[in-house]
Amino acid sequence: MLQIFSKKYYLRDLLEGFVDIHNHLLPGIDDGAKNANISIELIQGMKALGVKQFISTPHVMQDFYPNTDETIGNSYNQLLEALPVSLKSEIAINPAAEYMIDDHFETLLNDGYLFTLKSNYVLVEMSYYSPPINLEEILFKMITRGYKPVLAHPERYSFYHNKKDYYKKLKRLGCQFQLNMLSLSSHYGKHVEQTAYYLLDENLIDFIGSDVHNQDHVNKLSELFVGNKKINENLKKTIANTKNVFSVI
């Protein structure tokens, strides 16, 4: 019986000591955790999967979530105050941001202050409908100012699904890529899943993150299947690289 020899691998088998560089765990400031109690439930859920460190990345988006260092700082402090002491001693959590590339982002970039994931890594995203017309210019400006742009979930931008070579161009321009874990399933749709595996197979992915917003995401992550008998080697490399680059504990 073949089944006797098959082993199913789940993402959770690979996350021991992981550092999650993309999530919406900070309470009350974007479309993620609505309050600190929900933040704590999500953190506990992710900790059960092996995650030890969280770099939390609320949206900074002019039109919907105009977060500032003040709103992010206040939300972070609120969470720290609410975290049970026992949990606080077992994990590390730090604030950062996920910047929408919009006019406001250009102003922040020009003024010279951005939240970084760690050292000079900055997480950016763009609209799912169309890329910013000056995307390449913005990336260039970020790099010349000493930042390392990390594009969140490149696999989710459907306008690139039929021109995948452009992903290679973005990498050549110095942009690094962060894959969403749930893109390894049909959660965001079949095309996103196919593109996620294309990017992994082409060795274009640098980092992986959860992009957790709610309990449904945590539940799906806990059951996320990543292979029979064998795990994608580039997925393992991506997980290891994320830990190597961002781990502080």
User: From the CB of 181, what's the least distance to Fe ion, in Å?
Assistant: 12
User: From the CB of 22, what's the least distance to Fe ion, in Å?
Assistant: 6
- Nearer to Fe ion by C-beta: 98 or 206? 98
Strand partners, 169: none
- Nearer to Fe ion by C-beta: 140 or 160? 160
- Nearer to Fe ion by C-beta: 20 or 98? 98
What single DSSP character describes residue 182?
Answer: G
Cα angle at 92 between 77 and 44, to 5 degrees?
A: 90
- Nearer to Fe ion by C-beta: 53 or 81? 53
State whether residue 23 is helix, strand or coil.
Answer: strand
Question: Rounded to a whole number, what is the largest CA-CA distance in the chain?
Answer: 64
Which residues form the interface with Fe ion (CB under 5 A)?
98, 211
User: From the CB of 153, what's the least distance to Fe ion, in Å?
Assistant: 7
Place of tokens 């990498």: 171
* Chain residue whose CB lies nearest Fe ion: 211
- Nearer to Fe ion by C-beta: 55 or 239? 55
User: From the CB of 98, what's the least distance to Fe ion, in Å?
Assistant: 5
Extended beta strands in the chain, E state:
8-10, 18-20, 51-56, 59-60, 92-95, 98-100, 121-125, 148-152, 176-180, 207-209, 225-228
User: From the CB of 123, what's the least distance to Fe ion, in Å?
Assistant: 8
